[in-house]
Structure 1
């Protein structure tokens, strides 16, 4: 059994110590609520466990909601648009968010995100964060430092090295949570409201740009508590150099004249292109399209890379080779080259091994404008913790800003809810039910370490739920999930406190993997970053609607919801507009 049981009572419990979670805790405390911030690691640290994706965030200044009022750089190409006011820039930003969301973005949440851009910028600058309007910057680090300083001026109770494992519900409301600390002690949090800011599902993939504690925990806990989730099939894949790095620095290396080669040294992209499409066209589009999307011909580069890898023709580290050594290759990105040069990589001298890597998920608990889920007392916020403001694709640079907007709103409303509603004593059976999964681990005396099973699951997801998907691939993933649950999990070895936490993470990863697999299988079309090899075309007639998922007695219940039924393809809106850092042609 866990070493001991501790109980903590609070008005608001915030789960997750990244930008959204820290901001939610800050605003909750400022609203007068007793607030606890639970962090799976060290608060305001970066790298392993701590500040989450925010701490390693790379964001374009202009797309971080913060536009230069004079030029709008880099969202707007002034040569294309001419003089334009800040109000016009913000309206265009909203229209482009809706356009790239392809009918899967919630217009109400997108409007909130844009309308609160300028006030958020002003607040952050008052805290001493310098927003650069003319180049890429690592905004995540100074943002987290500023938020940390603000938290220190409040009475927020920061609980470090605590993994929240389950939410507590009673009479249909969220009334707290349970978790374990790194010493193996169980903790019960009795709360008037809970705010989930735990990040997305990047940890399901072998290659991703997130710290290893971002595994979809919040998605799984919200599902188990009865909340509706949405858009779980959507997300972004960028390109990572190998060995893996912490942010998508290689995305700007796709240049006209480059060549993709497999591990045998053979160029392969031309063999995967349909008639009338050339490698030059693909690379020209990919130069300004850093992420994988089905929206244009840039998709063929990622699809070809994945096919070569799955065919067993990968390079030494499991990727493919991007050859930029030909003197005809022009205009390499100073950002990517500078970053790689610091690590002794010269892409002009030798081919660079690359691989598709998970950047962010667009799905999560469905929220309203205040971060409320459909479970009273349960909130979610952040660029990946909650679904709604982004859709099938997203504008680059909005994740950090989204975390501030909806972290602020969720924290304030959670404080209001908690202080306006009396906290009843929790029945013993509610607490016992919450602790059941933690205590069940004590009976495990097998030989398999949880971290090894997590690694196995990541391999399967990385093969079958990557940029290429199909019904057969989803079936393989679901079979793996069932086998791990039924056969492998009972043979786990819980030998030390961290094994307990990793086992709980594994359970959450299995739940989220099942959700993603089932929504991917249900969406029989290709849209945004979701590509079905067996349904390669976008089907607006049948699929101009989001897929929802919630827990019912018989398991996962999938449904549909039309968020933006009047959406129409307006590619003219993207002309001259930055799409995740590059200018659309």
Structure 2
């Protein structure tokens, strides 16, 4: 028997976007918050740098806007960028009101760090480099004491439910493996990204892009899935995920050197070590392809352990002292700029289905995300989505048997086979990584289709895994240029004809395009 759970709102995902929206929507009705792991284990909790917000006397939202548009390389939605950066200060105040203890100066004003491609110091942080963990802990404390939020941890969502073209719920398996059906007047995907599709990533375990696959199967449009950001500096270890070495370390004065002890970033960009992430990641990749390992020299930073306690602890685990030793680094899959096509309020192409945070393609990041704009997006989208969600009329529904066998659903695993996951990670890293070309992309697409053809047609984690990977590859094949985080060795130049978005899903069998207004950064 299906266990049927009725709520006003169902939120899938427990990062900063999902937790914030849960708290806000609980003021208007009953919330079911569903997460396939523990509520504290999200990418947001791993975020180190902080939240970008123009708070200093020499900064303002217009400068933040310029930096965001420049980094997005022609694919940002100008109005979305303007609205998000204008609400950044309010987002920071919201966290402070909840009790998040930001790192502040003696006069109580937030200390502001600097990261790549920012023209000002505007990164608000907490706990040194534990910003994400600090925020998630505080949000979770509020959530767990809220009687209008029902938390479903370790609950796997396998499929979204549609009635008359509207999304009215989801089905999955609870922590005991029992089938469960959630019904509500709105379903919100806050499921994060897809870094675990890659062999080397900073993303939490389980971040395999299932939200994208769920939306795709429900007929939603997805946009710009080719743009996967590789963070330049993950700690080079044998763990999964790789520990992040925040961009803020370079903002405090650390520099990149190769195995010969030579600084090299000035050969690649005028901003050297503080260039945008796509440029730094490709520069490190180029050095490593030439046989030169890359290190971060942070020995000049005073009191490193106090400013970056998380990074210091990660280094100590492999026998390094950042105040005396070079830190070995490597690029790793980190963030998905594309996602489920939405407006700035999270409204998608499927009625009653919303997407916020990294799961969404809101137009904020364009082809390349500006550092520390991710936590900001999650906070702002959660606030902006509330009015659109609560204004929906109630929905009348009756439970209908899904189109697949109940017995097969009961037997369905809630995670992909380890063997298939490793195969996909290896394929995506070698064929759809930092530097791409048509030959390897075509081979990857053929292999993914072959694997998918061997699976049963119903929902499940392996279908979702391969669907998410295929969406990335198809878009990367279509974009025959290099722009932002997407670099094609066979099309190394940026082409004006491709200052447009890739679109998949809905009625599109492959990839279509939609125009984007030219964004001025003056």
The TM-score, its normalising length taken from structure 1, stands at 0.76
Taking the aligned partners of 1:113 and 1:171, their CA distance within structure 2 comes to 33
Is residue 94 of structure 2 the alignment partner of residue 123 of structure 1?
yes
Question: How far does residue 66 in structure 1 lie from its aligned partner after superposition?
Answer: 3.1
Taking the aligned partners of 2:325 and 2:299, their CA distance within structure 1 comes to 16
1:130-529 equivalences under 5 Å are 130-132=101-103, 133-135=111-113, 136=125, 137=128, 138-151=130-143, 152-238=145-231, 239-243=233-237, 244=239, 246-249=242-245, 252=249, 258-260=257-259, 281-282=267-268, 285-289=271-275, 291-293=277-279, 299-305=282-288, 307=289, 321-322=293-294, 331=300, 334=304, 338=312, 341-343=315-317, 344-346=319-321, 353-417=328-392, 420-426=393-399, 428=400, 431-433=401-403, 436=405, 439=408, 442=411, 450-487=417-454, 489=455, 504-529=460-485
Residues 157 and 478 of structure 1, relative CA distance in 2, 3 Å threshold: same
Is residue 498 of structure 2 the alignment partner of residue 546 of structure 1?
no
Taking the aligned partners of 2:326 and 2:133, their CA distance within structure 1 comes to 31
Whether contact under 8 Å (1:198, 1:217) holds in the other structure is: yes
Whether contact under 8 Å (2:168, 2:187) holds in the other structure is: yes
Question: How far does residue 437 in structure 1 lie from its aligned partner after superposition?
Answer: 9.1
CA deviations over 1:477-509 (Å, ceiling 9, x no partner): 11221222234x46xxxxxxxxx9xx9322212
1:80-95 equivalences under 5 Å are 89-95=60-66
Whether contact under 8 Å (1:109, 1:388) holds in the other structure is: yes
Taking the aligned partners of 1:323 and 1:149, their CA distance within structure 2 comes to 38
Question: How far does residue 105 in structure 1 lie from its aligned partner after superposition?
Answer: 1.2
What's the counterpart of residue 57 of structure 2?
Answer: 70
What's the counterpart of residue 10 of structure 1?
Answer: 7
Larger Cα-atom Rg: 1
CA deviations over 1:86-112 (Å, ceiling 9, x no partner): xxx111112221222112111222122
The match for 1:103 among 62, 65, 74 is 74
CA deviations over 1:233-262 (Å, ceiling 9, x no partner): 11211122221465431755796682247x
Residues 483 and 173 of structure 1, relative CA distance in 2, 3 Å threshold: same
Residues 218 and 323 of structure 1, relative CA distance in 2, 3 Å threshold: closer
- RMSD value, Cα: 3.1
Question: How far does residue 369 in structure 1 lie from its aligned partner after superposition?
Answer: 2.5
Taking the aligned partners of 1:284 and 1:381, their CA distance within structure 2 comes to 34
List alignment gaps of at least 5 residues for structure 1. 73-88, 262-266, 271-277, 314-319, 491-499, 574-585
CA deviations over 1:297-334 (Å, ceiling 9, x no partner): 873332342x45xxxx7xxxxxx622579xxx984694
Question: How far does residue 68 in structure 1 lie from its aligned partner after superposition?
Answer: 3.0
The match for 2:519 among 535, 547, 567 is 567
Q: Secondary structure at the match of 1:59?
A: coil
Question: How far does residue 117 in structure 1 lie from its aligned partner after superposition?
Answer: 1.4
CA deviations over 1:130-158 (Å, ceiling 9, x no partner): 33323453221221122123222341111
CA deviations over 1:169-223 (Å, ceiling 9, x no partner): 1111111111112332111112211000000111111111121121111111111
Residues 250 and 186 of structure 1, relative CA distance in 2, 3 Å threshold: same
Taking the aligned partners of 1:386 and 1:166, their CA distance within structure 2 comes to 20
Whether contact under 8 Å (2:342, 2:360) holds in the other structure is: no
Whether contact under 8 Å (1:194, 1:414) holds in the other structure is: no
Whether contact under 8 Å (1:292, 1:302) holds in the other structure is: no
List alignment gaps of at least 5 residues for structure 2. 104-110, 114-124
Taking the aligned partners of 2:31 and 2:256, their CA distance within structure 1 comes to 55
Whether contact under 8 Å (1:324, 1:348) holds in the other structure is: no
The TM-score, its normalising length taken from structure 2, stands at 0.84
What's the counterpart of residue 78 of structure 1?
Answer: none
Q: Secondary structure at the match of 2:7?
A: strand
Question: How far does residue 544 in structure 1 lie from its aligned partner after superposition?
Answer: 1.0
What's the counterpart of residue 118 of structure 2?
Answer: none
Taking the aligned partners of 1:240 and 1:449, their CA distance within structure 2 comes to 25
* Aligned length, in residue pairs: 486
What's the counterpart of residue 39 of structure 1?
Answer: 35
Q: Secondary structure at the match of 2:181?
A: strand
